[in-house]
Amino acid sequence: MRRDRRPRVALVVENRPYRDALGRVLPRYGLTVVDCSEDPDVLLVDVALGGVGSLRDAAATAQDARMLAVGVRDLDREVLSCIEAGAIGYVVRGASLDDLAEATHRAVRDEPLASPHVIATLMRRVAALSEVGAQASIGGLTSRELEVAELIEQGLSNKEIAAHLSIAVTTVKNHVHSILEKLNVHRRGEAASLVRNSGSKAAQGSRGDQSADSSPEPIRSAEAAARNP
C-alpha cells in the first residue's frame, strides 16, 4: 500500500443493511471502502453467516489482500479455523466499531491479531504437524534403512552396524546417507531422535489400542453502532 493514501477496505458481508452501514461509518476511521475488484488492502469478512467458508471464497476473490475475520465467536476452535483459512486476525462478536477499525489498521500494517493463548495453541499445532511429517518420513524408509536407523538410535558406529548386519561398511554409509536425505536432517543424532520419537509414539498407540479393547448469533454491538452513528 502506498503511504500517501488511506487504506482500502472491501466488505464481504452478506447482511446488506450492516454492510451499507459499515460503508458509511468506516471512512470516519481513516479507511476507504472499495469493491473487492478494486485492489483492497484488507477484506473484512463476516463469518457469522457464511462461516469459515466465507474466508476461503474471499481469498480466491482478492488474493493479495489481507483478510480480517469479523463476527467470530470467542472460541478457540473457531478462531483457529479462521486463522488456518488465511485470516491475519479476527474481531469477535460484540466488538465495538473502534475495535473493528483498530484491527483493520493493524491488518494493513501486517500485524497479526491473536491473543497469547491462541498463539500458543497455534504453535502447539505446528509442532504436532511437524511430528506427523516426521512419522511420514520414517514410513518412507526401506526395511533395511529402518534397521540401520534403529541401530544408529542405539548408538552403534558404522563399523558396528556393518558387523551386526553382516554387510560392508560402505553399504552402511550409503544407507546412512539415504536415511539422512529422506528424513531431511543433517546429522545422525537428528535421525536417531526421529526414530526414537517414532518408536515412542507407536508404543503409546499400541497401549491405547489394547486399552480400547477392554443458528448463528448476530453481530450486535458493531452493527448497532454502524446503523446509528
The amino acid at 159 = K
Backbone φ and ψ of 92, nearest 5°: -75, 160
pTM, 2 dp: 0.53
Q: Given 3.90.1150.10, 3.40.50.970, 3.40.50.920, 3.40.50.2300, which CATH number is that of 8-113? A: 3.40.50.2300
Question: pLDDT tens digits, residue range 88-115?
Answer: 888 888 889 999 999 999 999 988 776 6
Q: Where are the domains of the chain?
A: 8-113, 120-213
What CATH topology corresponds to 120-213?
Rossmann fold (3.40.50)
pLDDT at residue 23 is higher than 80: yes
The amino acid at 215 = S
Question: pLDDT tens digits, residue range 27-43?
Answer: 999 999 999 889 899 99
Same fold, 8-113 and 120-213: yes
When pLDDT is averaged across residues 167-181 and rounded to a whole number, the result is 90
Pure H helices in the chain: 16-25, 47-50, 53-61, 76-84, 97-108, 116-139, 143-153, 158-165, 169-183, 188-213, 221-227
Going by their DSSP bridges, the two strands 66-72 and 87-92 should be labelled as parallel
Distance of CA 187 to the CA centre of its chain: 28
